[in-house]
Amino acid sequence: QKEVEQDPGPLSVPEGAIVSLNCTYSNSAFQYFMWYRQYSRKGPELLMYTYSSGNKEDGRFTAQVDKSSKYISLFIRDSQPSDSATYLCAMNNQGAQKLVFGQGTRLTINP
Amino acid sequence: SQTIHQWPATLVQPVGSPLSLECTVEGTSNPNLYWYRQAAGRGLQLLFYSVGIGQISSEVPQNLSASRPQDRQFILSSKKLLLSDSGFYLCAWRGETAQQYFGPGTRLTVL
């Protein structure tokens, strides 16, 4: 079993829809949770960063962490074609030098 | 603000030839630095990381090596490239807590 599981998709939704992207993990020591957005042929860009449980909102993006279920989510409201990209979750525990990444979910927003 | 550079952006090399990819970071001191490889349609594979000058941790026993000759310089090398070395190579630096910031990447094709 992988330490972090992420559905690779592809996921295709119409413009304006609410998108939900998810990751599950097995290591209960994870405390730092990140979402990256990667456009084709570009490096990943840090989108959201949260510590421990709870929600964090930034514009149309909301990151949610449920440590009791070992489940994290990224919600995109009013999705735009420019949101079409691969989204990777990443996480690690206190003091760790390395991040553990999900496989990434390929998202397409159709105009 | 911090900036990370990688070059070259693209590279086409014959099998058996040497390789040198360079990564430099500006605007931060003594960062943790990382080399990742991303095969087409696949997730991120950590190759090497460094917590300081001359300190290299290897994650995969392959024909690749890494060096950190200066505080903000990280180099990925190979003496003889294999077909399986083709991929998208990404350099990253670690922020104050756990998050990592990626460079633009180098796309390597070995023929």
Q: Quick one: tokens of A1?
A: 């079993």
* Predicted pLDDT of residue B2: 86
* CB within 8 Å: B90 and A51: no
* Predicted pLDDT of residue A94: 84
Chain A hits for B46, CB-CB cut-off 8 Å, are 98
Residue A92 neighbours by CB distance under 10 Å:
22
Which chain A residue has its CA at the smallest distance from B59's CA?
A98
- Each residue's pLDDT tens digit, B80-103: 999 999 999 999 999 888 899 999
* CB within 8 Å: A88 and B44: yes
* CB within 8 Å: A34 and B98: yes
Q: Does residue B33 register a pLDDT over 70? A: yes
Distances (CA, A) of B73 to B5, B7, B76: 10, 12, 10
B1 and A CB contact within 8 Å: no
Identify whether the C-beta of residue A34 lies closer than 8 Å to the C-beta of residue A48: yes
Sheet of B19-26, strands arranged across? B3-7, B19-26, B73-78, B64-70
Segment 37-76 of chain B within 8 Å of chain A by CB: 42-44, 46, 49, 51, 57, 59
H or E segment at A27? none
Show the low-confidence residues of chain A (pLDDT under 50): none
Q: Quick one: tokens of A63?
A: 């990151």
A95 and B CB contact within 8 Å: no
Q: Quick one: tokens of A33?
A: 């949770």
- Each residue's pLDDT tens digit, B44-74: 999 999 999 999 999 986 789 999 999 999 9
Rounded Cα–Cα distance for residues A103 and B2 (Å) = 27
Residue written as token pair 């310089």: B73
Sign of CA dihedral A71, A109, A105, A10: positive
* Predicted pLDDT of residue B109: 97
* Predicted pLDDT of residue B61: 65
* CB within 8 Å: A101 and B43: yes
- Total count of residues recorded for chain B: 111
Mean pLDDT confidence for B22-29? 94
Give residue A31's identity as a one-letter amino acid code. Q
B103 and A CB contact within 8 Å: yes
* Predicted pLDDT of residue A34: 97
Which chain B residue has its CA at the smallest distance from A34's CA?
B99
Identify whether the C-beta of residue B80 lies closer than 8 Å to the C-beta of residue B31: no
Rounded Cα–Cα distance for residues A41 and A39 (Å) = 6
Q: Does residue B11 register a pLDDT over 70? A: yes
* CB within 8 Å: A98 and B49: yes
Identify whether the C-beta of residue A11 lies closer than 8 Å to the C-beta of residue A22: no
